[in-house]
Amino acid sequence: MSLEKKLKLSINEDADRFSELPEHMIHHILSFVSIKDVVRTRLLSKTWKSLSTSYKILLDLHYDHNSFAMELLLDTESAPEIDEIRDRFMDYADNHLLRVVQQQIPVLKLAVDVAVIGSEFFRVDQFMELVGKAKAEELSIFVQTRDFHWYYADEWDEWYDGGDIFEEGIFYEFPYSITLAKWLRSLTIRGCKVTSLASKNFISNNNASTYSSLRQLCLSRVLLFSEEALSNIASCCPGIEVIEFNCCNFLITTLKLSKFTKLKKASVVGQQEYLESVDITETNLESFHCSCVDLNCLISLAACRYMRVLELHHCYLSEPDLLKDLTTSFPLLEKAKLFDGIPYEGLDSITVANSDLRSLKLLFNRDIRVISVKCPNLRHFDCYIHGLEEVYLDCPKLRTCYYNSLSVPRLILLDLPTDIEYIVFSFSLHYKLDKSWFISIWKFLEQIVGCNTVYLHLYCLSPSTDVAEFGLDELEAVQAFKPKNVHLQVVIGYAGERRPISAAFVDALLWSTCPATLSIGGDCYNIVKYLCEKLAEKSRDGSCCDQQLCSKYWWHNVSDFKAKYKNEDMKQNLASLVELTKQSRRGLSNRISNIDRMPFRFKFDWHSVERFMAKLLVEMAGSNLNT
């Protein structure tokens, strides 16, 4: 037998030798593998599913004081005292977790929700020692105390006015010993306080070469007493790659994330009391999310070079010029959300040409005038920028596009796939309308007519009744008029006294958009009434549109239509449809579905230049035959 055949035979024979090992040896090997990976081995084969199932794992272990108290109250005839409930819960939790620790049972997710009466933390300290010995990969600790409700607005105002929560508040002091748990990968701390003294004592009492295996840390509703406390966390857990701060309370003004040398992902979400700024200038972050009103975000060009995900909500950026050209500033960017509340002077344009960018969402209230997006792999684009004048979109793989503004851009150039799932353009009309606005809408739609499906959403707040009579000749529509694959959605709002919708407004809207469908909602009695009246008399008048498209009346160009209220056909009962608009005014604010928000729907089948030409050719051919 050749050496090559012997080698192949040997490989085939040794392919699954691991499964032939005794079960206790396999379990011993699995004890060195992360719990998540052990669970994943169940998908390899039926043999592995049997082996991993016999290896006992607790996927989710939750000690919840509130749930225990509720069950206890339901099971007993006489309500026990609060102290008795607390003692019985701690006895149960101690005994149960002790068995888990003694049997060395791995736990994928361990959650501890403990309630403390007064400042008696002795039983909690004992229990936390057991928690630190458990073989848990993901740990969540929540200690409820009398003063934990500080983060609610009303109670926080009472604390702020009447005392110092850091000095007088009763909170459980987080035990640093838990961070050295051998198996721990993810830790969530909620409702506790982190002090520099406790961390300093812990570090001095432990071997400096002993480090935590922690990779992810989430601090929620936590009191951080000093910058040293944060530095000590970084010293205890040098391998942290993900860190989250959720509505914490600081006694420092600047949060420096460079202390965590291996940090890849950081998130600062919610109001961070007393904190003024977060500093990421000396980091190598791949993902950064900051959502905190009026928080200063200190950033540098060097800190952006590895950024793949960037989300900024309602915060201030120290270097706003970085947003002018996202391609240069963030070359590896894959997802970006830049939201409201960032008044950057001098930032009047945004250019994006990242090849890896998949999702882009922009929201600015002012200043931005030009936006250029040329991303070959962009899938989703959302834009909420008021006052944009020029829009350039060159995204051949775009799947969804949503654009919202108060005004129609003066220039828009689109290079989008024809099979895009949907395009939505939404405009809020809070000012007096004139002919120029409808002309701009018509020109705007002409630029995007190549796309398969376009949704045009208009929110009209008391449209002016003095829109002059609208003439089709102003749009040169005799030559350019053609049906567009536009789905028009109109919501009529009002502020104070109701004002009737003018016929000129409806005429101008239909002429400028020529929609395939029209959905109407809000205070829409007058607009539905006018539509129904004109559609009922849509027959053509030979005096104005005998052999051409009508240049006076849009309803003369409607060959057929459908009318519905929600899903009910109302074409043969237009008078009842008008009456239903009065009912739709009531309770509108409580409706959430789109069909309830815009329940009146029309579908139009328009005449077109092509149809008239075809009809004319048929008539000419018929006359020639007769001749």
pLDDT at position 478 is: 39
Model pLDDT for residues 54-112, shown as the tens digit of each residue: 556 777 889 998 888 888 777 777 777 888 888 888 999 999 999 889 988 888 889 99
**Are 329 and 350 a contacting pair, CB within 8 Å?**
no
pLDDT at position 153 is: 42
b or e along 553-576 (b: 16 or more beta carbons within 10 Å of the residue's beta carbon)? bbbbbbeebebbbeeeebeeebee
Torsion sign (Cα): 476, 477, 479, 485? positive
**Are 199 and 176 a contacting pair, CB within 8 Å?**
yes
Checking if the pLDDT of 364 tops 90, the result is no
pTM greater than 0.85 (yes/no): no
pLDDT at position 152 is: 46
Please tell me the distance from the alpha carbon of residue 293 to that of residue 361, in angstroms, as a whole number: 18
Residue type, 280: I
Torsion of CA 39, 43, 48, 52, to 10 degrees: 20
- Neighbouring residues of 132: CB distance < 8 A, sequence distance ≥ 6: 175, 177, 178, 180, 181
- Neighbouring residues of 599: CB distance < 8 A, sequence distance ≥ 6: 521, 565, 566, 580, 584
Checking if the pLDDT of 11 tops 80, the result is no
Partners of 411 in beta bridges: 390
Residue that has been written with the tokens 């939750």 in this structure: 62
**Across 121-125, 225-229, 363-367, 472-476, least confident range:** 472-476
**Are 218 and 246 a contacting pair, CB within 8 Å?**
yes
Model pLDDT for residues 252-264, shown as the tens digit of each residue: 889 999 999 999 9
pLDDT at position 208 is: 43
Model pLDDT for residues 140-152, shown as the tens digit of each residue: 999 988 776 554 4
pLDDT at position 288 is: 95
pLDDT at position 244 is: 95
